[in-house]
Structure 1
Amino acid sequence: MNFGTLYRKSAFTDNPKGGNPAGVWVGETLPSGDVMQRIAAEVGYSETAFMAPTTGYYRTVRYYSPEMEVTFCGHATIAAGIVLGETEGDGKYQLTTAAGEVSVIVQNEGGVREAALTSVEPKYTGASDVLINEVLSALGWQPSDLDGSIPPARAYAGAWHLVLAVNDQNRLAKLNYDFERLKTIMLREGLTTLQLVWRESADVFHSRNPFPVGGVVEDPATGAAAAALGGYLREAELITVPATILIRQGEAMGRPSRLTVEIPATGGIVVKGTAVPIETE
């Protein structure tokens, strides 16, 4: 039997009551898909990362939500990076994911261990009017709620997300959507989350991320969507690069999260954060 060790971390926060909880399972070999799915459902967090082998700088990682496997998960990668730093030491780790190669640099700054992932090459496409209108209807939003300076787009940095930017913070603060309807649309379109954002300033964004395809109403911190947003802003020339932006997420849920996104002129997008242990009864 393949026994492993399960760690529970909350990512993108220094407070276990904030951030996004993630499971990190580490074993010598990965379990079967059915077993990983069962473990992820039992853990109950939006994602659990499964990582093998137990030693070395090269690892294979797979990510499971309670209902399905996802190609890439940022907050579980940050949590895995912190686990690697604590158990193996700081340094650069190379992760082979279903989306491709992702590097994670783990270092200790002033007594705080931080992980920085570099995503696969990002890309984006426009979103059809049909898709936009369907999603707006499921959200209970109007086209007039959208910020025309950041057009709707499908964005990718390991998983696909639909980016919708709003022109008013109050619109983002009020999120009450049709779960099953939105889930059906997202499954059909191959979307992992919605990246709903309000741009406070040139380098500060507020974000909310519905995740019904994973059986989760909302993610309090979504590193994959943060990387996808950074890639979209660069590729669509909506930001001057290189740049660093801060994404504030999870506040409306009472789980405040801070995601630092570094957008280089070329290549993968860098998402930084820390993670802290979650105590279980």
Structure 2
Amino acid sequence: MTSTQQSSTASAPALDVLRYSAFTADPAGGNPAGVALDAEDLDDAQMLAIAARVGYSETAFVTASDPVARRYRLRYFSPRAEVVFCGHATIATAVALASRTGTGELLFDTPAGEIRVGTTADGDGPVRATLTSVPAHSRPAEDTEVEPVLRALRWSRDDLDADLPPHVAFGGNEHLVLAVAGRARLAALDYDFDALHEIMRRHGWTTVHLVHRAAPDRLDFHARDPFPVGGVVEDPATGAAAAAFGGYLRTLGLVTEPLRIHIRQGEDMGRPSDLFVDLHPDDARIRVTGQAVPLPDPGK
């Protein structure tokens, strides 16, 4: 986690928190996020307490707004700490705002930088949102970074895809990218939560982005994202990691023309999600598209 861990012992004030599942059109799929559209008066401890009460991997808080300019300031909290950037909560917030004020372009000021989000809808269908990341990049991971993670995952070097080397990728925050050669190995993920938490905390990684290339002749992937530093075993959809992964593919030289890749995430944990990532060889900013649908408040 790239932000300071904070205590969640403060009481959570009464606040209307919307609930959305992002990167899906089915409430049974996707990654749930909390969205607090009226959080101007909350302090850090209160936002953390609300995120802990909601219990999702992240809750987004709109802490300043200019509806005329369609510009908003966003902060993100997991149940354990503030997060610099969260893709699925950004998508959820954009859909919530579009449902309130109409579709179009939104501008979010986040701790990671300025994020533009376009929203559209076809008739009465779910709103689609496309976020444009900050410039994404990646670097080869050191052996001293990879080997402890492999032990925590209970994997070996032989499990990895030699054509997609381990990297530390950035798209607003950092993620270790590991590509696995076999789909079955990815499906059978069973890792040491405490060990991976400590490794990720030490390096400041938000998730470990585990991917399997669906076929050697196309750039479509299955993904899983352990998120122990957020107090969550696994994310069903991780837009920030998808943006970082786009930077990874560009760094490897696999993006020679404008293209869209598909990431299928959450399938192995029963919450299938679809993330569409648009890449351009001349633009380091990555565009991540998904839908979001409202969820009922379990407390009502």
State the TM-score, normalizing by the size of structure 1: 0.96
SS at match of 2:169: strand
1:140 is aligned, of 140, 150, 154, to 154
Residue number in structure 2 paired with 1:280: 297
Post-superposition Cα deviations, 1:83-132, rounded to whole Å, max 9, x if no partner, equal 01001111111101000000010111343311100000001111110110
Counterparts of 1:76-155 in structure 2, within 5 Å, are 76-112=89-125, 113-155=127-169
Residue number in structure 2 paired with 1:34: 45
Tell me the CA shift for residue 32 of structure 1: 1.0
**Is the contact made by 2:137 and 2:284 (CA closer than 8 Å) also made in structure 1?**
no
Post-superposition Cα deviations, 1:58-79, rounded to whole Å, max 9, x if no partner, equal 1100011110111100000000
Residue number in structure 2 paired with 1:216: 232
Are 1:242 and 2:273 an aligned pair?
Answer: no
Q: How far apart in 2 are the matches of 1:106 and 1:85?
A: 7
SS at match of 1:141: coil
Tell me the CA shift for residue 5 of structure 1: 3.2
Distance of aligned partners of 1:249 and 1:125 in 2 relative to their CA distance in 1, 3 Å threshold: same
Q: How far apart in 1 are the matches of 2:22 and 2:41?
A: 23
Residue number in structure 1 paired with 2:62: 51
SS at match of 1:197: strand
Q: How far apart in 2 are the matches of 1:70 and 1:241?
A: 32
- Structure 1 alignment gaps of length 5 or more: none
Post-superposition Cα deviations, 1:202-223, rounded to whole Å, max 9, x if no partner, equal 1310000000000000000000
**Is the contact made by 1:30 and 1:50 (CA closer than 8 Å) also made in structure 2?**
no
Query: Percent identical across equivalent pairs?
Result: 50
Are 1:256 and 2:272 an aligned pair?
Answer: yes
Distance of aligned partners of 1:140 and 1:53 in 2 relative to their CA distance in 1, 3 Å threshold: same
> How many residue pairs end up in the alignment?
281
- 1:240 maps to amino acid: T
Q: How far apart in 1 are the matches of 2:137 and 2:42?
A: 31
Residue number in structure 1 paired with 2:221: 205
Tell me the CA shift for residue 240 of structure 1: 2.8
